[in-house]
Amino acid sequence: DTEVTQTPKHLVMGMTNKKSLKCEQHMGHRAMYWYKQKAKKPPELMFVYSYEKLSINESVPSRFSPECPNSSLLNLHLHALQPEDSALYLCASSSPRGTWGTRPSSYEQYFGPGTRLTVT
């Protein structure tokens, strides 16, 4: 199973709302990522979790709050967003250094389908 799932597929929220995006993978990957992709642009890294710990925060505003409850789940909590935050939010996972005791076979990231977020 090489699938990363994301819910919801679409989300419309007001600037005062609080919502959460969810991401799940069952590939045993221990690194998970959030990206933001604006139309006709490449994905931009937001956060990296490695072994359930936040490893990278690419200077993302605090209105975005990531959470990694366990090795299979990644959440992105949203609060007081701005219209310019409207975008496709992508989750990805990868094997950071390979699974325990085995030589890593690859480091590619597997992407989910994304959540298309519209902030009104």
Partner 1 sequence: AQSVSQHNHHVILSEAASLELGCNYSYGGTVNLFWYVQYPGQHLQLLLKYFSGDPLVKGIKGFEAEFIKSKFSFNLRKPSVQWSDTAEYFCAVNRLSGGYNKLIFGAGTRLAVHP
Cα–Cα distance, 22 to 32 (Å, whole number): 12
Report in angstroms how near the CB of residue 101 gets to partner 1 at its nearest.
Answer: 16
Do 24 and 4 form a contact (C-beta atoms < 8 A)? yes
Considering the complex, state which of residue 16 and residue 106 has its C-beta at the smaller distance from partner 1: 106
Do 68 and 93 form a contact (C-beta atoms < 8 A)? no
Report in angstroms how near the CB of residue 9 gets to partner 1 at its nearest.
Answer: 11
Considering the complex, state which of residue 31 and residue 78 has its C-beta at the smaller distance from partner 1: 31
85 phi and psi angles, rounded to 5 deg: -85, -5
Cα–Cα distance, 96 to 108 (Å, whole number): 9
Tokens 């977020």 sit on residue = 117
Considering the complex, state which of residue 17 and residue 86 has its C-beta at the smaller distance from partner 1: 86
Report in angstroms how near the CB of residue 112 gets to partner 1 at its nearest.
Answer: 6
In the complex, the residues that contact partner 1 under the rule CB under 8 A are 30-31, 33, 40-45, 48, 50-51, 55-56, 90, 92, 94, 96-97, 106-114
